[in-house]
């Protein structure tokens, strides 16, 4: 048996329980990982709550009628290979790995072998667990826009997991970065590399008259017309998720994404809605940035596995800066 964070129905973090479950067995092409660290993502609380409810109809792989399709939460992990299934030749028991899978908030998780990469020397399990979904998403958003060095980029929602990586990766790409954050995150955004920082409680970035080659919106609380105003002609507007727990329970940020698909082609602006997928080659490159010191995972707090419910509550109510990590 092993311990895992389980939920049987949708709800707040109170529906999560740490339970004994059978230790999973790796099938062909799979690896059993003894999890040392995992991290929380916005995707995790969306699935935990079943919100926005429209997503229950759109993504039947993740959302069931009354609860998630997979009862154990978690996407990112870092740990040690404990066993391998048939046809797995790259990994051996004892290898330190990290990557993206499902049901990772547990002492053991089964992950497709092709979604794991080797943990580099000098990178901790906690740092590695913070990378997969958030850093991959940030890089995919930048790559979709295709900016060139010297161009300008605005990141709305630059203090979360994806946002903190987006600032740093944009700087690696040679871009002039403007970050939109809350007052408590102004100094951090500048430290991560933003040349200009906007406090959204004092200034509305859509009314300042400034335009950018790329605008990345990670919040989803603005209309398409507002966002297009700050994109330079020929530039790109990149949209990704967003939402606030307890708000927009029916449609939430999906409204903006759907409208972008319908109206974007006629707006005169490149409106992009890329979706990240597990990419081991990209994850290797991102880890290399961490080793080189050009990118550093921002870890807000680290909770033990037994306090995962509290970690979700913290993520939702305190608007965590960077990543919340679970140490197993």
First to last CA, the chain: 15
Residue 7 exposure: Cα atoms within 13 Å on the Cβ side: 28
Q: Which helix (H) or strand (E) holds 254?
A: helix 254-263
Class of domain 133-272 (CATH, top level): alpha beta
pLDDT digits (tens, 9 = 90+) for 238-259: 998 765 555 444 444 555 555 5
Please state the pTM of the whole predicted model.
0.92
User: What is 155-198 written as a DSSP string?
Assistant: EESTTBHHHHHHHHHHHHTT-EEEEEE-GGGHHHHHHHT-SEEE
How sure is the predictor about 269, in pLDDT bands with cuts at 50, 70 and 90? Answer: confident
Question: Partners of 108 in the beta sheet?
Answer: 34
Instruction: Please indicate whether the domains covering 2-131+297-327 and 133-272 agree at the CATH topology level.
Output: no
Give 172: exposed, middle or buried? Use CB within 10 Å, 0-12, 13-18, 19+.
middle
What is residue 136's DSSP assignment?
A: H
Tokens describing residue 325: 């990590």
In this prediction, residues 87-112 reach a mean pLDDT of 97
pLDDT digits (tens, 9 = 90+) for 17-53: 999 999 999 999 999 999 999 999 988 988 898 875 6
Question: Distance (Å, rounded) from C-alpha 299 to C-alpha 46?
Answer: 21
Q: Is the CB of residue 193 less than 8 Å from the CB of residue 168?
A: yes
Domain 2-131+297-327 belongs in CATH node 3.90.180.10: yes
Residue where the block lists tokens 């066993």: 83
Tokens describing residue 5: 């964070």
Q: How many other C-beta atoms lie within 10 A of the C-beta of residue 42?
A: 23
Cα torsion angle, 151, 156, 159, 165, sign: negative
Q: Where are the domains of the chain?
A: 2-131+297-327, 133-272
Q: What is the pLDDT of residue 262?
A: 53
pLDDT surpasses 70 at 205: yes
Distance of CA 82 to the CA centre of its chain: 26
């Amino acid at each position: 048996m092993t311990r895992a964070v389980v939920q049987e129905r949708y709800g707040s973090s109170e529906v999560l329980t740490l339970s004994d479950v059978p230790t999973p067995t790796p099938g062909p092409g799979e690896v059993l990982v003894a999890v040392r660290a995992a991290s929380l993502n916005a995707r995790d609380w969306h699935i935990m709550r079943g919100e926005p409810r429209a997503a229950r109809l759109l993504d039947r792989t993740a959302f069931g009628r009354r609860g998630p399709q997979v009862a154990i939460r978690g996407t990112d992990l870092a740990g040690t290979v404990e066993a391998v299934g048939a046809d797995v030749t790259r990994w051996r028991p004892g290898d330190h790995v990290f990557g993206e899978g499902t049901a990772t908030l547990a002492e053991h998780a089964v992950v497709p072998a092709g979604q794991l990469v080797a943990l580099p020397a000098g990178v901790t399990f906690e740092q590695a667990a913070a990378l997969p979904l958030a850093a991959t998403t940030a890089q995919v958003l930048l790559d979709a826009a295709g900016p060139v060095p010297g161009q300008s980029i605005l990141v709305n929602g630059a203090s979360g997991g994806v946002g903190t990586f987006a600032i740093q990766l944009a700087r690696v790409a040679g871009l002039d970065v403007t970050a939109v954050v809350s007052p408590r995150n102004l100094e951090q955004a500048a430290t991560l590399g933003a040349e200009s920082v906007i406090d959204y409680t004092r200034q509305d970035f859509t009314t300042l008259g400034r335009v950018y080659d790329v605008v990345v919106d990670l919040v989803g609380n603005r209309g398409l017309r507002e966002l297009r105003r700050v994109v330079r002609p020929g530039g790109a507007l990149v949209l990704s998720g967003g939402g606030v727990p307890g708000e927009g329970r029916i449609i939430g940020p999906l409204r903006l994404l759907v409208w972008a698909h319908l109206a974007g082609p006629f707006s005169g602006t490149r409106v992009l809605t890329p979706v990240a997928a597990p990419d081991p080659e990209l994850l290797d490159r991102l880890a290399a940035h961490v080793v080189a010191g050009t990118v550093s995972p921002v870890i807000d707090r680290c909770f033990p596995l037994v306090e995962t419910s509290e970690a979700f509550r913290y993520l939702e109510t305190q608007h965590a800066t960077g990543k919340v990590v679970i140490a197993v």
